[in-house]
Amino acid sequence: MTALAERTGAVNLGQGFPDFDGPPDLLRHAKDMIDAGHNQYPPLTGVPRLRTAVAEQRARRHGTVYDPDREVLVTAGATEALAATLLALCEPGDEVVVFEPYYDAYRAGIELARARCRTVRLRPDATGRFRMDPDELAAAVTPRTRLLLLNSPHNPTGTVFDRAELAHVAAVCLRDDVIAVADEVYEYLTYDGVPHVSLAELPGMRDRTLVISSAGKTFNVTGWKVGWLCGPAGLVEQVRAVKQYLTFASGTPLQHAVAHALPTAEHWARGLAATLAQNRDRLAAALAEAGLPPYRCAGTYFLQADTRQLGEADGVRFCEQLPHRVGVVAIPSAVFYDDPAGASHVVRFAFCKQPPVLAEAARRLAGLR
Ligand code: PMP
Ligand code: GLN
């Protein structure tokens, strides 16, 4: 869709990447680290100062304590952490529970590991917030279940799961001895005072959860691909063994720069989240005005909307035509489902863009009426 936006000159609200830079101090530190000669392989597990910064950040924000040497692993983005985890921990035929709609890398990683996906549907409630059904969740876990993958804040729905929902997830993991993988790449991007609770914080979960995050979303540097994983030493060791032969390591100067900035993440991200919340409100108003009522969103870069008022129930067709009709690119949420039946009319718009870009998108979307 990004290629289509470039070809057609459309405003690209498809792929989730910000069009504004991260903290100047972070960017400067990366240049300084290159100039200082930090340009060779880092250790397989990541530069020590980044592992320490990650451990301190998890303790500070969530009260979860990790040994930076054995329980933190730096990866090439959250994507590598996800792939290495699935490849390390799943045997062919194992089942992995995921919440649908799900980020597209999940199914690909599960299939690479020759495991099977068991999906639990998130559905909008009367207020438009996507939520899980605890009974469906309990029923999805079987003796074959090895992992449960939870993304919160959630792409593409924008749901930030609350403590009660996480308690349901924790309960099934504890009941059936399932390992949880918590993808928290949008951990700082929550709005309206909604807190981000980490699954690893819940009683009994620290020792059965691999938490995955990344600098990309927190610091507006999605192209840096500096991510990490934290968890109990035995599991992290298995993931490390796979990671060694995927990339071994990556991005030494960028790892140093992220280590430098991570202690300031709360301060920086407060401003970022305030900006993004305003963007969300502007885009939500524009979508509603254009006949695309938005669903609720309390986190991430994304707003989903319903195309049916405009007489189109097929989001794929809608998104294919949108750049040609009004010059805007969005993504059909169908790509985040095994079977999109019941959600074919849902499309996703990214709001991590500068106000003039969103204003231009709003102007163009108004042409749909
Ligand atoms: N998980 C989710 C839910 C995402 O939206 C993304 C997209 N950026 C990733 C993981 C991948 O993160 P990274 O760019 O750090 O690999
Ligand atoms: N996570 C981003 C999104 O969902 C994009 C990442 C990618 O393009 N692989 O849009």
Q: Please state the atom number of ligand 2 nearest to the C-alpha of residue 331.
A: 10
Distance from the alpha carbon of residue 173 to the mean position of ligand 1, in angstroms = 23
Q: Where are the alpha helices (DSSP H) in 113-207?
A: 134-140, 163-176
- Residue 245 CB-density burial (10 A; 0-12 exposed, 13-18 middle, 19+ buried): exposed
Q: Are residues 228 and 360 in the same domain?
A: no
Nearest to 117 by CA among 87, 156, 151, 148: 148
CATH number at residue 102: 3.40.640.10
ipTM: 0.97
Determine the structural domain holding residue 286 and report its residue range: 2-22+266-368
Q: Which of 208, 234, 263 marks a domain boundary? A: 263
Nearest ligand (C-alpha, residue 189): 1
Mutation probe of ligand 2 site: the residue of 1, 2, 13, 15 with most atoms within 8 A of C-beta: 15
| Residue that terminates a domain, selected from 241, 263, 285 | 263
Considering the domain architecture, whether residues 241 and 113 belong to the same structural domain is answered as yes
Residue 367 CA to ligand 1 center (angstroms) comes to 32
Say yes or no: CB of residue 220 within 6 Å of ligand 1: no
Which structure tokens are listed for 96?
A: 């992995």
For residues 34 and 96, membership in a common domain is answered with yes
Whole-prediction pTM: 0.97
Same domain, 53 and 126: yes
* Interatomic CA distance for residues 29 and 139, integer angstroms: 49
Q: Strand pairing of 145-151 and 179-183?
A: parallel
155 lines ligand 1 (CB under 6 A): yes
Decide: 151 in ligand 1 pocket, CB within 6 A. Answer: yes
Q: How many domains are there within the chain?
A: 2
3-class state of residue 141 by DSSP: coil
**CB atoms closer than 10 angstroms to residue 65:** 12
Separation of 286 CA from ligand 1 center, angstroms?
27
Distance between CA atoms of residues 222 and 360, nearest Å: 24
Based on the domain organization, do 242 and 318 belong to the same domain?
no
pLDDT per residue rounded down to tens, the chain (369 residues): 899 999 999 999 999 999 999 999 999 999 999 999 999 999 999 999 999 999 999 999 999 999 999 999 999 999 999 999 999 999 999 999 999 999 999 999 999 999 999 999 999 999 999 999 999 999 999 999 999 999 999 999 999 999 999 999 999 999 999 999 999 999 999 999 999 999 999 999 999 999 999 999 999 999 999 999 999 999 999 999 999 999 999 999 999 999 999 999 999 999 999 999 999 999 999 999 999 999 999 999 999 999 999 999 999 999 999 999 999 999 999 999 999 999 999 999 999 999 999 999 999 999 998
For ligand 1, is residue 78 a contact (CB within 6 Å)? yes
Ligand 1 atom 7: the closest Cα is on which residue? 16
Give yes or no: residues 148 and 211 share one domain.
yes
Read off the DSSP letter of residue 298.
Answer: S
The verdict on the CB of residue 216 being under 6 Å from ligand 1 is yes
Does the Cβ of 159 fall within 6 Å of ligand 1?
Answer: no
Residue identifier of the C-alpha nearest atom 2 of ligand 2:
16
What's the CA gap between 196 and 211, in Å, rounded? 13
Distance 13 CA to ligand 2 centre (A): 11
Which atom of ligand 2 is least distant from the CA of 16?
10
Q: Are residues 254 and 281 in the same domain?
A: no
Do 16 and 100 lie in one domain? The reply is no
* Site residues for ligand 2, CB cut-off 6 Å: 15-16, 155
